[in-house]
Chains A and B, each alone.
Chain A
């Protein structure tokens, strides 16, 4: 263990080197594991240049990915706005993998490096390693291998079937990426090795290609004369994972396309928890770095100057512009998450009468245990529903605006007062649900009599219709994958079709 004097002098030196980073890592993980009782994956800290950070941006943080123009487009956009000074690059980027890779920008100051190591290598890392969504829905151990495998496979397909055809398939899959996720059923863990074996099996064994639909062809399948299967609805239950359904059931799709669909599906699955835990993840990491660095100060690892710079950075991260500010661009997930986690601690330690009424279960409990419990077992919407306290609502002065299609005005539905707390909490939780952003669409049935038409159903919620143009374009992609007509019906609560999109 490095001595406190050495740390102090390292951390107050404006230029950092390997020893600084090693010391920061050692001290934060020591305090993290003893004081905050964090369990993490081993860390891999990588120092990168701004160019490399831009590269990492456009590959959504993965060190490698299959080639596609979409990543090039993202790169061009990021580069443009960075070069023009419209946006800065972040100080770090962290990947949910084992070991947990974090990219730190080379032009960070010493203080920023320590902060970033506490934030990413302890906070995010612990979150990845412990939150139930990440544990059950992603495979941190094998994602890097898997992406390397995916890249190799897709490059191989390009050689064999032509880059254009592969691009067409990927375009189509990307359009449906939000619908390549198992939300309820736990997905199998990915593994490059198993993947290769499974692929061999799929190719070699004819019966693996056996298709439910072929049974409907006259003369095929069992010779029972009239085939009873035709009258059976297929699939038995509506399927929310459209890409999965395509991969398994597209009637005439060649095997290599099925594999590409599978790859995109697995990538979508990997990123699914990140979208669902933005507030918690950032909030928890901020909570962790704040506690770690304050503890370091208390124990004498850092000096006053360091703390001033730290507090400045910390409060800029938590800056939440008001709704009518020029720089407002939605709720800052760092702020919201940090406030809720901090308030859990406060409620455990110094509850008010209000807290006793709202959170009877937290009163008198060990704050660290409760914070861990919250971090482990929730995702954004349930976390907010469970823990958003009246005090946080008051502190952030949250209010609910109702935007009704038919009205001329917006209506302020609830504000931070006694009558409003619950409504604010519900509305905010609703806002972080997936269905708020992603329309609910499922595979309803396949018409097996003649046309093989794929029927999708969109369940209309809150009278929100589908964007007609986007829907039509997406259906075209789906049509390409399915290779037979596709139809999407928007149904309201009474199961009546409001709109039908056709792609014959």
Chain B
């Protein structure tokens, strides 16, 4: 007889395991393709969601097969509309496998390596992307600054305050205990009661009656509720990580920053932003642009409008400090800063002042600060020199970039897993 089964409610994703194995196999290639993806615009386009395509090679499964170009083959085709025996049809020029009109063509459309792409979900992509990265001090912050807690249900416990008594669970315990303890008496009782009508002897009847009463009492001695049965709702205080981060983007927009420099800076900021959105539920962005004066602006203006003039850095740091104290208290916000500049400053005094402010005012407040110099000059700029002295790689790092493809290695370098846990 036939069985009809509705499998639709069964677990889905039977292939997830195998898919993971497959991804693992092409992992190396995905990693290799990452710099290309980063330097193309796709990251930013996709930073809200969607998929990332990674071309994959070398996953063919070999087997003994005929070389399609050799030998003499006869192939049967349907739908003859013009040929007679002995007709000749020229082979297509490019390749024996053309499959054009009249030719035998290839047997089936096969998936070639070229059009085989792995479509990674956003999540999977980021996992590859940030796999061996972690924000410096991130773990530390999570561990140390878990100041807020939330109570979550965590099963039942035997001890607790009366207000947390769980009646249902307690009753279950009591029921189980009563059934098990009374069972033996109840069985006895049933047996005695069965005997009772069968006996005619009065003395015997009395004895049985007494026995029944005794056992009945015993049954009743099992209490309805004992301390043993009590169950209380249990709560555990789960530390709530600070889930908000603010990212300061500081960029030099003086005349010396050309389109290319800004473009590189933008890519770097995008990358950092994507990274932070992965770590935090809520990431705010603050854009500060500066030439001789510093100004907080919107994203559009930050990247697009062009200004000229000389460069003074210190005011932008002062503005960042001001915004932090006004709007982002360090208890609730993880603060990240990233400054991009070509390193040109008006005067050495400005550079020194910037370094002083960085050290005294900003670094104590932030989780991490990075300075990226977009420049291809060999000689170090004055800003670079003072910052470089300050850099400790834990809280503050400095790096140089000039080409877009350099972003990824530098980014990795900046956020390489640090041994924060061992401190």
Contacts and interface: CB of A to CB of B under 8 A. Distances in A.
Interface in A434-466: 437-439, 441, 458, 461-466
A468 B88 CA distance: 30
A43 B2 contact: yes
A470 B62 contact: yes
A54 B84 CA distance: 44
Contacts of B63: 175-178, 470, 474
Given A54-B15, A470-B65, A473-B62, A323 B117 contact: no
B107 interface: yes
B88 A409 contact: yes
Nearest to A461: B71
Contact of A68 (B21, B88, B102): B21
A95 interface: no
Contacts of B118: 76
Interface string B156-175: 00000000000000000000
B87 A178 contact: no
B114 to A, nearest CB: 13
A67 B18 contact: yes
Interface residues of A, number: 98
Contacts of A176: 63
Contacts of A321: 79
B81 A322 contact: yes
A474 B61 CA distance: 9
A59 interface: yes
B377 interface: no
A141 to B, nearest CB: 16
Contact of A52 (B10, B68, B78, B107): B10
A402 interface: yes
Contact of B4 (A45, A396, A474): A45
A194 interface: no
B17 A464 contact: no
A411 B87 contact: yes
B13 interface: yes
B3 interface: yes
A323 B79 contact: yes
B78 A397 contact: yes
Given A176-B63, A321-B79, A411 B86 contact: yes
Contacts of A325: 79
Contact of A467 (B12, B67, B101, B102): B67
Contacts of B59: 73
A15 interface: no
Contacts of B8: 47-49, 52, 106
Contacts of B73: 402-403, 462, 464
Nearest to B96: A403
B64 A178 contact: yes
Interface centre among B12, B66, B69, B107, by most chain A C-beta atoms within 10 angstroms, is B66
Interface stretch (A251-259, A346-354, A413-421): A413-421
Contact of A477 (B19, B22, B62, B81): B62
B7 interface: yes
A296 to B, nearest CB: 17
Contacts of B111: 77
Interface residues of B, number: 67
A381 B24 CA distance: 41
Contacts of B3: 42-45, 99
A306 interface: no
B91 interface: yes
B379 interface: no
A298 B158 CA distance: 72
A67 B70 contact: no
A403 B104 contact: yes
A9 interface: no
Given A47-B8, A52-B7, A401 B22 contact: no
B14 A55 contact: yes
Interface in A35-50: 42-49
B85 A410 contact: no
A477 B61 CA distance: 11
B421 interface: no
Interface in A254-277: none
A86 B228 CA distance: 65
A399 B77 contact: yes
A126 to B, nearest CB: 14
Contacts of A461: 71
Interface stretch (A127-135, A283-291, A367-375, A424-432): A424-432
B76 A324 contact: no
A398 interface: yes
Contacts of B22: 69-70, 72-73, 75-76
A24 B83 CA distance: 46
Interface string A55-96: 100110000000111111101110010000000000000000
Interface in A180-228: none
B125 to A, nearest CB: 15
A400 B111 CA distance: 27
Contact of B75 (A45, A68, A175, A400): A400
Contact of A410 (B19, B91, B116, B119): B91
B300 interface: no
Contacts of A465: 66-67, 70-71
A417 to B, nearest CB: 7
A403 B92 CA distance: 12
A48 B91 CA distance: 46
A24 B69 CA distance: 50
Interface string B368-393: 00000000000000000000000000
Interface centre among B2, B62, B73, B86, by most chain A C-beta atoms within 10 angstroms, is B2
Given A175-B63, A458-B64, A467-B65, 15 more contacts: A42-B2, A47-B4, A48-B7, A52-B14, A68-B21, A71-B18, A72-B17, A72-B19, A174-B61, A177-B63, A420-B85, A464-B66, A464-B71, A466-B65, A467-B64
23 contacts: A18-B6, A42-B3, A46-B5, A71-B18, A75-B18, A75-B19, A77-B111, A174-B61, A177-B63, A324-B101, A330-B108, A397-B80, A405-B71, A405-B72, A411-B87, A411-B88, A415-B80, A417-B85, A438-B65, A466-B65, A467-B67, A470-B63, A474-B64
